[in-house]
Amino acid sequence: MNLILFDLDHTLLNGDTQSEWGCYLADRGIISFEEYQKAMAVFDASYRRGALDIGALLEYQIAILKLHPLSKFHQWRKEFIEERIRPLLVKAGWEAIRKHQKRGDELILITATNSFLTVPIAELLGIPHLIASQEEYDEAGNLTGRFCGVPSYREGKVTRLQQWFQQQGRSREDYKKILFYSDSHNDIPLLSLVDEPIIVNPDAQLHEHALKNHWKIVDFGIKRA
């Protein structure tokens, strides 16, 4: 049995989950699109400089979930998944998932996006395991507005996968091979450790790195901005 890791945004999804969520909330009048766009532009600029504070980004995104009762956000999330996410899931991604399922492989969706948004996406895809950045809840089950643990971003994905092995009582030796599908240069730390990196419509930096390292590059029909 192989272990198969899938990134989400721009790999299985022809878009970005958090950006779609912000647009959805703005369209419903739940948040201001102008304020959201302005804040995200600052994070995007730091990302492009290679200086993104992932903790600050996560806390900004999670803080939005405290603007209304969590029960309301659960209702909106259900609608969001059907209206905005399902249409963006790419056919080639579905086919790759089903191929590995038929082979009896173990599948994990591993993403920097928060678990509030990605738990139902993993369920929709039929992927049984999820490694995502984790929002924090208090003892009453309410969001604190903070994240907890290690964000599953860059080297954090390596750490979180190691933690998953420990939690499951497993090790990489339990699998014949580990494969990882990803589009982003931010995933180079984990891509460099797996047995078979599979590069999906990569960004420019990852494309160059993949060519130098003779990594497999595949076309899922993802459109990059």
Active-site positions read 7, 9
Secondary structure class of 149 (helix, strand, coil): coil
In which region does residue 106 sit, left (phi positive, over 0), alpha (psi from -120 to 50) or beta (all else)?
beta
Contact 2, 179 (CB under 8 A): yes
Q: Please, how many CA atoms are within 13 Å of residue 178, restricted to the half-sphere of its CB? A: 16
For residue 199, the surrounding DSSP H or E stretch is strand 196-200
Count CB-CB contacts under 10 A for residue 85. 23
The angle formed by the CA atoms of residues 198, 54 and 67, to the nearest 5 degrees, is 115
Q: Can you give the three-state secondary structure of 91-143, one letter per residue? A: HHHHHHHHHHHHCCCEEEEEEEEEHHHHHHHHHHHCCCEEEEEEEEECCCCCE
SS3 58: helix
> In the sheet where 129-137 sits, what is the strand order?
143-148, 129-137, 106-114, 3-6, 178-182, 196-200, 216-218
Please classify residue 141 by burial: count the beta carbons closer than 10 Å to its beta carbon, then call 0-12 exposed, 13-18 middle and 19+ buried. Answer: exposed
